[in-house]
Structure 1
Amino acid sequence: MSRHPPADARHPLQPFWDISQAAVQADALRLALELQLFELLAEPLSAAEAAARLQLHPANTAHLLELLWSMRLLERQGADAAPGQWRYGTGAVAGQYLSRESPRYCGDAWLFRTQALRHFGDQLGEQVRSGRARIAPNLAGTGANWQAAARLQIAQEQRAATVAAALALVRRLPEFTGAERLLDLGGGPGLVAIALAEANPALGGEVFDLPETASVAQENIERAGLAGRLRGRGGDLSRDALGEGYDLIWCSSVLHFIPDPHATLCRIFAALRPGGVLVCVQAEIPPSPDAALAVLPYYLSMRMLGRHVTRAGELYQALERAGFGGLETVREVPFPMAPVTAVIGRRSAS
């Protein structure tokens, strides 16, 4: 019996070689965004034509375009022609999310997240050795930085992914069509609240976030023509009053940053009217290595900074301890950067 692996088998080290190569792919995408290639190639061009338009090295431009094609960011025409005659056009995903001409453009957000992850990676050794690391000024969680992110990166991610995920989750709720008062906790630019209000004409309420960020939400609410139904309200989720009598509370990627999540969940429970519903969306660490790998790289920095990232099932238990009933769990909700878990909890009508 042969002891040699099949000729088409992957070497056990291939996943780790892939990790090394991914850095080159990230740099290729960064350069494509910098050069605005996806806008240029809305109408397919040859590599020579693209290089001439952008004043680039022709042969190396051809190599770059072929790499982007292999990443499925570009489509290639003329498969039967000589390589120099191939024409490259923007692919469907790049056109929808990485072209500045698209309303769902997410390129700035991708660049920001990539910069943050690389900065954290550079600091990883210091974090593990001493528990301390330097945070880049533009990555620190100041009010001004949160405001800037709400205006650009978070807004792009909400348009590209979060809004669609929120609508899919909330529309499954029997309570949604009758809901009249909404609280969007940590809602950033407010685009989720705006989408929910547009989906339910009876719905109004508030986007609650840091004062600097709430001002961005207010701008977007006014731009959407919903100032009569929604408003941005600034405050500190850990200590300021949330209000009461809400039919629906949306809370995503917020509990990571709260010093006492249990106390906050109890306050959220009290803010619901009897019969009201909370949709709490957070990343959790799955028990299997393959599923965990989709979550842990992005949330490692938060965990090392002492943020709360629960394990699978713990968010459900936390809502249960806070008094919520009628609990449901929806796993692998598609969110920016990594899939998340949604736990839906209700305040009893009795």
Structure 2
Amino acid sequence: MNTLPLHPLHGCWDLAASAIRAEALDTALALNLFDALVEPMTAAELAHSQGLHAANTAHLLELLWTLGLLQRERTEQATEQVPDRYALAPVARECLVRNAPGFCGDAWRYRLTSLRGLAGRLRAHVEQGPQLPENTFQSATGAGWAAAARAQIGQEQRAVSAAAALDIMDRLPQVQQARRLLDLGGGPGWIAIELARRFPGLRGVVFDWPETAAVAQENIEASGLAERLRAQGGDVASDALVDGEGKGAGEGFDLVWCSSVLHFVPDIAAVLAKVMAAMAPGGLFVCVHAELPATAEEAAQVMPFYLPMRMVGRHVLPEGGTAAALAEAGFVEILQFGSGRFPMSPVRVAVARKPKAPGDPMAAHD
């Protein structure tokens, strides 16, 4: 291990080097190198099979090894005649090989392209203020986002977010009794689909912008769950929320899942009031969002992903902010915990309950 003292600017230089690391992974995915390395081989063998430059392929594989994506099988005395062989590390085999169930390489490249574009506008944001179309908060809408929901975001949701959501639900025994689900801002619908598979008594709605809701409906039908789930298109800021059986306010959802939605809405309090109105008394609201921790070390895991959003006026609340907003909206029995299993940064999970009907002894206790 390197124990040499480092210059105080080392962290800044390391930031510059991160561009090379990202480019290395992007290159490997674009060239399908992880697929080719399902069986271990030398750099020369890989280069020959893929029509690449042998020496530079070796350099790339060595960098991927330093990132923990490859394992290097080194002989006691590696030479040109007895070169190193490279094999996939477990994370690459599970997530970066295209036919693997957990493949999310396209989703990672999509995030990289998006973050590069946002980073390129940071200076303009600082100098001139938000650089946005007229409707600041309209995001994740239209055909472009629907295409991403069908491909890259859908891939990420299937491979990562759905499993993370199930992990959260497994910590909440009361979910077993839920019967009517709202997946608010559910994108391609894979979280709702996996929840319906895990809890056979669950029925409900995936709510998102119309173009994205159409993608969710396709996925619901392809999953054979159209009798229990449906997608509803609309704007959470202006459209009504009704449950999967068409019931009205106060009769509806007894489980609401809401992940990374409140960042984008114009008025968090108004949306929470609308969700409250659409829930059944005693219903459970599971709200999952990135928040900004108070310490620099923890905030460093979050802020790079969300700084561009903050610069255009979107909401990234301080740690505990989601729970505080839920309490202000009238939700009770609020539980908070963290999760590091979602894409990009760690998130905070706030679980809350809608009070029971007025006059209920437990409502007074709330």
TM-score range, shorter chain: over 0.9
Report the alpha carbon displacement of residue 332 of structure 1 after superposing the two structures with TM.
Answer: 3.8
One-letter identity of the residue aligned with 2:47: A
**How many Å separate the matches in 2 of 1:230 and 1:129?**
47
**How many Å separate the matches in 1 of 2:232 and 2:225?**
15
Residue correspondence of structure 1 range 10-159 to structure 2 within 5 A: 10-84=6-80, 85-133=83-131, 141-159=140-158
TM-score using structure 2 length: 0.90
**How many Å separate the matches in 1 of 2:352 and 2:117?**
37
Asked if 2 retains the 8 angstrom alpha-carbon contact of 1:253 and 1:283, the reply is yes
**How many Å separate the matches in 2 of 1:209 and 1:7?**
51
SS at match of 1:263: helix
Asked if 2 retains the 8 angstrom alpha-carbon contact of 1:333 and 1:342, the reply is no
Query: Which runs of no fewer than 5 residues in structure 2 stay unpaired?
Result: 243-248, 361-366
Paired residue for 1:285?
292
- The structure 1 residue matched to 2:345, chosen from 335, 338, 341, is 338
SS at match of 1:221: helix
**How many Å separate the matches in 1 of 2:154 and 2:130?**
30
Paired residue for 1:213?
212
Report the alpha carbon displacement of residue 13 of structure 1 after superposing the two structures with TM.
Answer: 2.0
Distance 1:345 1:48, change over 3 A: same
Name the Cα RMSD after superposition.
Answer: 1.7
Report the alpha carbon displacement of residue 81 of structure 1 after superposing the two structures with TM.
Answer: 4.2
Report the alpha carbon displacement of residue 313 of structure 1 after superposing the two structures with TM.
Answer: 1.4
Runs of 4 or more, structure 1, over 3 Å off, are 132-135, 139-142
Distance 1:132 1:306, change over 3 A: closer
Report the alpha carbon displacement of residue 268 of structure 1 after superposing the two structures with TM.
Answer: 0.6
One-letter identity of the residue aligned with 2:172: L
Distance 1:140 1:174, change over 3 A: closer
Which stretch shifts more, 181-190 or 84-93?
A: 84-93
Calculate percent identity across the aligned residue pairs: 50
Paired residue for 2:364?
none
One-letter identity of the residue aligned with 1:288: T
SS at match of 1:201: coil
Distance 1:205 1:83, change over 3 A: farther
Asked if 1 retains the 8 angstrom alpha-carbon contact of 2:139 and 2:264, the reply is no
Report the alpha carbon displacement of residue 132 of structure 1 after superposing the two structures with TM.
Answer: 4.2
One-letter identity of the residue aligned with 1:17: W
Asked if 1 retains the 8 angstrom alpha-carbon contact of 2:141 and 2:211, the reply is no
SS at match of 2:263: helix
Asked if 1 retains the 8 angstrom alpha-carbon contact of 2:40 and 2:85, the reply is yes
CA displacement 1:36-78 (0-9 Å, x = unmatched): 0000000011111111111111111111111111111111113
Asked if 2 retains the 8 angstrom alpha-carbon contact of 1:163 and 1:192, the reply is yes
Paired residue for 1:261?
268
Which stretch shifts more, 312-321 or 13-22?
A: 13-22
One-letter identity of the residue aligned with 1:215: A
**How many Å separate the matches in 2 of 1:140 and 1:287?**
27
One-letter identity of the residue aligned with 2:157: Q
Asked if 1 retains the 8 angstrom alpha-carbon contact of 2:253 and 2:280, the reply is yes
**How many Å separate the matches in 2 of 1:324 and 1:134?**
34
Distance 1:134 1:246, change over 3 A: closer
Do structure 1's residue 313 and structure 2's residue 320 form an aligned pair?
A: yes
SS at match of 2:355: coil
Do structure 1's residue 270 and structure 2's residue 268 form an aligned pair?
A: no
CA displacement 1:278-331 (0-9 Å, x = unmatched): 001111100000000111111011101111111111111100011100100112
Which stretch shifts more, 249-258 or 157-166?
A: 157-166
Asked if 1 retains the 8 angstrom alpha-carbon contact of 2:209 and 2:235, the reply is yes
SS at match of 1:311: coil
Asked if 2 retains the 8 angstrom alpha-carbon contact of 1:182 and 1:203, the reply is yes
SS at match of 2:330: coil
SS at match of 1:256: coil
Do structure 1's residue 189 and structure 2's residue 188 form an aligned pair?
A: yes
SS at match of 1:281: strand
Paired residue for 2:236?
237
Paired residue for 1:295?
302
Report the alpha carbon displacement of residue 140 of structure 1 after superposing the two structures with TM.
Answer: 7.1
CA displacement 1:209-237 (0-9 Å, x = unmatched): 01111111111111111111001111111
Which stretch shifts more, 89-98 or 43-52?
A: 89-98
TM-score using structure 1 length: 0.94
**How many Å separate the matches in 1 of 2:341 and 2:207?**
23
Asked if 2 retains the 8 angstrom alpha-carbon contact of 1:123 and 1:134, the reply is no
**Number of equivalent positions:** 342
**How many Å separate the matches in 2 of 1:95 and 1:15?**
30
